[in-house]
Amino acid sequence: MGATSNSIMKIFVFEGVIVGTVGTLLGTILGLLLAKNADPIIKGLERLLGVKIFDQSVYGMDHFPSVVNSGDVIAVVVVAMSISLLATIYPAWRAARMDPAEALRYE
């Protein structure tokens, strides 16, 4: 109730940065783990489900090729963080303009 609109905007942006960082970090780790272990994961799923996902006779390869390009990973991380930061600005600006007593009246 006593916070300034500037401090409310900082709180919203800070929360957005935290959520964006955690999500980007978890997504990057999970994506790298999946990319580095794509062949064992595909073979395990094929055994588990009894279905050919990557048929060697069709593709002519004995394993699933997976290459991690660090430049691509960095680009995706930068874009993900930029989008998450940009997505927090408008809600933060709207929250900063809102009168808290008026917002609570309709809740």
Encode pLDDT of 64-91 as tens digits.
888 999 999 999 999 999 999 999 998 8
Cα separation values, 82 from 17, 18, 20, 77, Å: 10, 13, 9, 9
Q: Where are the domains of the chain?
A: 5-93
Which amino acid, 18? I
Cα separation values, 28 from 2, 16, 21, 31, Å: 39, 18, 10, 5
Q: Name 9's Cβ contacts closer than 8 Å, sequence gap at least 6.
A: 92, 93, 95, 96
Which residues of the chain, if any, have pLDDT below 70? Answer: 1-2, 100-104, 106-107
- Using a cut of 0.85, tell me whether the model's pTM lies above it: no
